């Protein structure tokens, strides 16, 4: 978690003063495949994230996305699935940066104290696929789907 916090601060603080500071960041781990429309999905939902204060984040992952019926449907959820997600500068700088945990950042982000009743947008049809089979905590439980 500490390396995530460090990286997020570096991105949002700007490592090069000649470049503009980003309004939001997308987080992908090294064992994630993205769909061909991953970036267009994130772009389309970014304005919602920036202007709807009832949203915490946007995720491109859906645990049950392999059973999806509508590839265009976006759902509001009270569960943070991670695995390819986006947050904005306001959330990081005004809220999370000062209290970022030392471990298990994803579980921490799911706690009511962080979520504060806000939702996470997620697609009905998952835009990311986790392919890791060794290490981490997932043990590739979806690898056989």
Q: In the structure encoding, which two tokens stand for residue 109, read together?
A: 């982000």
107 catalytic, yes or no? no
Q: In the structure encoding, which two tokens stand for residue 106, read together?
A: 């994803």
Could you tell me which residues come within 8 angstroms of residue 133 by beta carbon, excluding any fewer than 6 positions away? Answer: 140, 143
Catalytic pick from 37, 50, 106, 107? 106
CA distance 88 to 121: 13
Active-site residues, by number, are 106
């Amino acid at each position: 978690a500490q390396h995530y916090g460090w990286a997020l601060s570096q991105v949002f603080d700007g490592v090069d003063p000649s470049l503009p500071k980003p309004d939001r960041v997308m987080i992908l781990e090294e064992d994630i495949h993205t769909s061909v429309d991953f970036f267009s999905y994130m772009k389309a939902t970014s304005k919602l994230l920036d202007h709807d204060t009832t949203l915490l984040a946007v995720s491109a992952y859906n645990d049950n996305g392999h059973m999806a019926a509508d590839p265009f449907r976006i759902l509001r959820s009270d569960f943070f699935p991670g695995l390819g997600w986006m947050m904005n500068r306001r959330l990081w700088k005004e809220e999370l940066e000062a209290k970022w945990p030392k471990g298990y950042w994803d579980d921490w982000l799911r706690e009511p104290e962080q979520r504060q009743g806000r939702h996470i947008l997620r697609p009905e049809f998952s835009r990311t696929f986790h392919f890791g089979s060794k290490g981490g905590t997932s043990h590739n439980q979806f690898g056989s789907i």
